[in-house]
Amino acid sequence: METSTQFLLIIGGILLLGLLTSALAQRTFLPRVTLLLLLGMMIGKGIPEVLSDQFEMLAEVTLLMVGFLLGGKLTKGPLKATAGDVIWISLSAALATAAFVGLGLICVGVSKELSIILGCISAATAPAAVYDVVAESKAKGPFSERLLSIVALDDVWALLLFGIGLSVVTTLSGMAEGSSFILMACKEIAGAVMLGGCIGLPAAYLTGRIKPGQPILTEALGIVFLCGGLANWLGVSYLIASIVMGAVISNLAKHHEYPFHAIEGIEWPFLIIFFVLAGASLDLNALSEIGLIGGVYVLCRGAGKYCGARIGSQISGAGQPVKKWMGVALLPQAGVSIGMALVAANQLPDQRQMLLSVLIATTVLFEIIGPIFTRIALKQTQAMQSGQ
- The answer to the question of residue 143 being in a domain is no
| pLDDT value of position 263 | 73
pLDDT of res. 1: 59
Confirm whether 65 is domain-assigned.
Answer: yes
Tens of pLDDT, residue by residue over 155-173, are 788 888 888 888 788 777 6
Asked if the structure places residue 154 within a domain, the reply is yes
Average pLDDT over residues 235-262: 78
pLDDT band at 386 (very low <50, low <70, confident <90, very high): low
pLDDT of 37 reads: 81
What domain range includes position 181? 32-124+150-386
Report pLDDT digits (tens) over 10-23: 888 888 888 888 88
Whole-angstrom distance, CA of residue 64 vs CA of residue 68: 6
Q: What is the pLDDT of residue 258?
A: 58
Closest CA to 193 of 148, 155, 225: 155
286-304 pLDDT, tens digit each: 666 667 888 899 999 999 9
Contact between 119 and 96 under an 8 Å Cβ cutoff? The reply is no
Check residue 373 and give its pLDDT.
93
Is residue 334 domain-resident? yes
The model's confidence at residue 92, banded by pLDDT at 50, 70 and 90, is: very high
Q: Please tell me the distance from the alpha carbon of residue 212 to that of residue 255, in angstroms, as a whole number.
A: 8
Asked if residues 107 and 299 have their Cβ atoms less than 8 Å apart, the reply is: no
Mean pLDDT of the chain, nearest integer: 81
**For 345-357, how does the pLDDT look when each residue is reduced to its tens digit (9 = 90+)?**
777 777 777 887 8
Distances (CA, A) of 27 to 21, 22, 31: 10, 9, 10
Identify the CATH number of the domain in which residue 102 sits: 1.20.1530.20
**Rounded Cα–Cα distance for residues 49 and 56 (Å):** 13
pLDDT tens per residue, range 93-148: 999 999 999 999 999 988 888 899 999 999 988 888 888 888 888 877 788 888 98
Q: How far is CA 239 from CA 25, 56, 141, 327, 370, in A?
A: 28, 14, 25, 22, 20
Question: In this structure, is residue 134 part of a structural domain?
Answer: no
% helix, strand, coil for the chain, step of 5:
80, 0, 20
pLDDT of residue 208: 65
User: Residue 151, Cβ neighbours under 10 Å: how many?
Assistant: 27
Mean pLDDT in residue range 304-325? 90
The Cα-based distances of 236 to 55, 62, 69, 72, 142 in angstroms read 20, 17, 19, 20, 31
- 308 versus 78: which is more confidently predicted? 308
Q: Is residue 40 part of a domain?
A: yes
CA distance 217 to 223: 10
DSSP string, 323-376: HHHHHHHT----HHHHHHHHHHHHH-GGGHHHHHHHHHHHHHHHHHHHHHHHHH
Contacts of 222 (CB under 8 A, 6+ apart): none
pTM greater than the 0.85 cutoff: no
Q: Which residue has the higher pLDDT, 219 or 100?
A: 100
Q: Is residue 9 part of a domain?
A: no
213 or 291, greater pLDDT? 291
The answer on pLDDT for 7 being more than 70 is yes
* Total number of domains constituting the chain: 1
Asked if residue 96 is part of any domain, the answer here is yes
